Structure 1
Amino acid sequence: MTSEMGDNLIEYVTSENRVWPLKWHEFSKLIGLNKPGFLPPLILGGAAESDAAKRQRLIDQINFIATDPVLLQKADVFLRSLPEDGWYRSPDPLSDKDRW
Protein backbone atom coordinates (compact mmCIF):
# COMPACT_ATOMS: atom_id res chain seq x y z
CA MET A 1 0.00 0.00 0.00
CA THR A 2 1.38 3.39 -0.91
CA SER A 3 0.38 6.98 -0.36
CA GLU A 4 0.84 9.98 -2.58
CA MET A 5 3.85 11.03 -0.50
CA GLY A 6 5.21 7.48 -0.76
CA ASP A 7 4.70 7.46 -4.52
CA ASN A 8 6.49 10.81 -4.82
CA LEU A 9 9.39 9.54 -2.73
CA ILE A 10 9.67 6.38 -4.83
CA GLU A 11 9.69 8.52 -7.96
CA TYR A 12 12.52 10.59 -6.46
CA VAL A 13 14.68 7.64 -5.35
CA THR A 14 14.37 5.98 -8.77
CA SER A 15 15.13 9.12 -10.78
CA GLU A 16 18.52 10.25 -12.06
CA ASN A 17 19.91 6.70 -11.97
CA ARG A 18 19.63 6.44 -8.18
CA VAL A 19 19.73 2.85 -6.89
CA TRP A 20 20.37 3.01 -3.13
CA PRO A 21 21.59 5.57 -0.60
CA LEU A 22 25.16 5.18 0.61
CA LYS A 23 23.83 5.73 4.14
CA TRP A 24 21.34 2.91 3.70
CA HIS A 25 21.92 1.40 7.13
CA GLU A 26 21.38 4.80 8.79
CA PHE A 27 18.19 5.24 6.75
CA SER A 28 16.97 1.79 7.77
CA LYS A 29 17.56 2.50 11.44
CA LEU A 30 15.58 5.73 11.09
CA ILE A 31 12.52 4.02 9.61
CA GLY A 32 12.40 0.79 11.58
CA LEU A 33 15.20 -1.69 11.11
CA ASN A 34 14.03 -3.63 14.17
CA LYS A 35 10.29 -3.67 13.40
CA PRO A 36 8.70 -7.04 12.65
CA GLY A 37 8.40 -7.56 8.92
CA PHE A 38 10.92 -4.87 8.02
CA LEU A 39 13.22 -5.83 5.18
CA PRO A 40 16.85 -4.97 5.94
CA PRO A 41 19.03 -3.14 3.44
CA LEU A 42 20.96 -5.26 0.97
CA ILE A 43 24.38 -4.39 2.34
CA LEU A 44 26.95 -6.59 4.01
CA GLY A 45 25.30 -10.02 3.59
CA GLY A 46 23.18 -8.69 0.72
CA ALA A 47 25.96 -6.80 -1.03
CA ALA A 48 26.18 -9.37 -3.81
CA GLU A 49 22.57 -8.77 -4.85
CA SER A 50 21.90 -7.08 -8.19
CA ASP A 51 21.28 -3.37 -8.63
CA ALA A 52 17.68 -4.17 -9.57
CA ALA A 53 17.19 -6.13 -6.33
CA LYS A 54 18.72 -3.32 -4.27
CA ARG A 55 16.50 -0.67 -5.83
CA GLN A 56 13.46 -2.89 -5.30
CA ARG A 57 14.40 -3.40 -1.65
CA LEU A 58 14.57 0.38 -1.13
CA ILE A 59 11.13 0.71 -2.75
CA ASP A 60 9.83 -2.10 -0.51
CA GLN A 61 11.16 -0.27 2.54
CA ILE A 62 9.34 2.89 1.52
CA ASN A 63 6.16 0.92 0.92
CA PHE A 64 6.56 -0.68 4.36
CA ILE A 65 6.21 2.74 6.02
CA ALA A 66 3.78 4.30 3.52
CA THR A 67 0.84 4.26 5.94
CA ASP A 68 2.81 6.04 8.69
CA PRO A 69 2.90 9.72 7.72
CA VAL A 70 5.43 10.62 10.44
CA LEU A 71 7.95 7.96 9.39
CA LEU A 72 7.33 8.67 5.73
CA GLN A 73 8.07 12.36 6.29
CA LYS A 74 11.31 11.46 8.12
CA ALA A 75 12.28 9.16 5.28
CA ASP A 76 11.50 11.83 2.70
CA VAL A 77 13.60 14.46 4.48
CA PHE A 78 16.49 12.04 5.02
CA LEU A 79 16.66 10.80 1.43
CA ARG A 80 16.13 14.17 -0.22
CA SER A 81 18.79 15.76 1.98
CA LEU A 82 21.51 13.39 0.79
CA PRO A 83 24.06 15.05 -1.48
CA GLU A 84 24.22 14.01 -5.10
CA ASP A 85 27.24 11.83 -4.31
CA GLY A 86 25.36 10.22 -1.42
CA TRP A 87 23.76 7.71 -3.79
CA TYR A 88 24.98 4.64 -5.60
CA ARG A 89 23.89 5.17 -9.20
CA SER A 90 23.59 2.93 -12.20
CA PRO A 91 22.00 3.60 -15.56
CA ASP A 92 18.68 1.99 -16.42
CA PRO A 93 17.92 -0.69 -17.24
CA LEU A 94 19.38 -1.98 -14.01
CA SER A 95 21.26 -5.23 -14.02
CA ASP A 96 19.45 -8.17 -12.53
CA LYS A 97 22.73 -10.09 -12.22
CA ASP A 98 24.27 -10.67 -8.81
CA ARG A 99 27.60 -8.95 -8.32
CA TRP A 100 29.56 -12.11 -7.45
Structure 2
Amino acid sequence: MNRVLVHHIAGVKPSLDAGTIQAADSLTVDLGFDSLDLVELSQRIRRVEPGVDLRPWFAGASMSDTVASLAAHLGWAIEEPVRTLSPAGSDHG
Protein backbone atom coordinates (compact mmCIF):
# COMPACT_ATOMS: atom_id res chain seq x y z
CA MET A 1 0.00 0.00 0.00
CA ASN A 2 1.28 3.45 -0.77
CA ARG A 3 2.31 4.82 2.62
CA VAL A 4 1.98 8.47 1.62
CA LEU A 5 -1.57 8.05 0.40
CA VAL A 6 -2.52 5.98 3.47
CA HIS A 7 -1.01 8.69 5.67
CA HIS A 8 -3.24 11.30 4.02
CA ILE A 9 -6.34 9.10 4.19
CA ALA A 10 -5.78 8.38 7.88
CA GLY A 11 -5.06 12.08 8.46
CA VAL A 12 -8.52 12.94 7.18
CA LYS A 13 -10.18 10.09 9.11
CA PRO A 14 -8.12 9.57 12.29
CA SER A 15 -10.57 6.89 13.43
CA LEU A 16 -9.25 4.63 10.65
CA ASP A 17 -6.45 2.21 11.43
CA ALA A 18 -3.89 2.93 8.71
CA GLY A 19 -2.78 -0.69 8.83
CA THR A 20 -6.18 -1.91 7.69
CA ILE A 21 -6.58 0.36 4.65
CA GLN A 22 -6.49 -1.76 1.49
CA ALA A 23 -6.00 -0.83 -2.16
CA ALA A 24 -9.46 -2.15 -3.05
CA ASP A 25 -11.21 -0.10 -0.34
CA SER A 26 -13.76 2.41 -1.58
CA LEU A 27 -13.13 5.78 0.00
CA THR A 28 -16.86 6.42 0.41
CA VAL A 29 -18.33 2.97 1.02
CA ASP A 30 -15.57 1.18 2.95
CA LEU A 31 -13.75 4.08 4.59
CA GLY A 32 -16.74 6.35 5.22
CA PHE A 33 -15.57 9.46 3.38
CA ASP A 34 -18.14 12.14 2.63
CA SER A 35 -17.75 15.07 0.24
CA LEU A 36 -16.00 17.25 2.82
CA ASP A 37 -13.52 14.45 3.59
CA LEU A 38 -12.77 14.12 -0.12
CA VAL A 39 -12.12 17.86 -0.36
CA GLU A 40 -9.76 17.69 2.62
CA LEU A 41 -7.96 14.70 1.11
CA SER A 42 -7.54 16.53 -2.19
CA GLN A 43 -6.12 19.56 -0.36
CA ARG A 44 -3.62 17.34 1.46
CA ILE A 45 -2.58 15.72 -1.81
CA ARG A 46 -2.19 19.08 -3.57
CA ARG A 47 0.18 20.22 -0.83
CA VAL A 48 2.47 17.35 -1.82
CA GLU A 49 1.71 17.43 -5.57
CA PRO A 50 0.77 21.07 -6.32
CA GLY A 51 0.22 20.51 -10.04
CA VAL A 52 -2.06 17.50 -9.75
CA ASP A 53 -5.55 17.79 -11.21
CA LEU A 54 -7.96 15.56 -9.31
CA ARG A 55 -11.03 16.61 -11.29
CA PRO A 56 -10.79 13.68 -13.74
CA TRP A 57 -10.56 11.24 -10.83
CA PHE A 58 -13.53 12.85 -9.08
CA ALA A 59 -15.53 12.64 -12.32
CA GLY A 60 -14.92 8.88 -12.53
CA ALA A 61 -15.13 8.25 -8.81
CA SER A 62 -18.80 7.35 -9.07
CA MET A 63 -17.66 4.17 -10.84
CA SER A 64 -14.50 3.52 -8.84
CA ASP A 65 -13.40 5.54 -5.83
CA THR A 66 -10.92 2.99 -4.56
CA VAL A 67 -7.61 3.78 -2.93
CA ALA A 68 -5.94 2.01 -5.87
CA SER A 69 -7.77 4.13 -8.46
CA LEU A 70 -6.69 7.32 -6.70
CA ALA A 71 -3.10 6.12 -6.44
CA ALA A 72 -3.14 5.20 -10.14
CA HIS A 73 -4.49 8.63 -11.06
CA LEU A 74 -1.71 10.24 -9.05
CA GLY A 75 0.90 7.94 -10.56
CA TRP A 76 1.79 6.74 -7.09
CA ALA A 77 2.76 3.10 -6.89
CA ILE A 78 0.77 0.74 -4.75
CA GLU A 79 3.46 -1.06 -2.83
CA GLU A 80 3.08 -4.77 -2.30
CA PRO A 81 2.83 -5.90 1.30
CA VAL A 82 6.05 -7.23 2.72
CA ARG A 83 5.95 -11.00 2.94
CA THR A 84 7.59 -12.55 5.92
CA LEU A 85 9.37 -15.81 5.40
CA SER A 86 8.56 -18.77 7.55
CA PRO A 87 11.38 -20.42 9.47
CA ALA A 88 13.45 -22.78 7.33
CA GLY A 89 11.62 -25.95 6.46
CA SER A 90 8.15 -24.72 7.43
CA ASP A 91 7.19 -22.46 4.50
CA HIS A 92 3.87 -23.86 3.36
CA GLY A 93 2.41 -20.90 1.59
Task: Give the TM-score normalised by the residue count of structure 1.
Answer: 0.34
Structure number with greater Rg is: 2
Looking at secondary structure, tell me which structure has more strand per residue: 1
Looking at secondary structure, tell me which structure has more helix per residue: 1
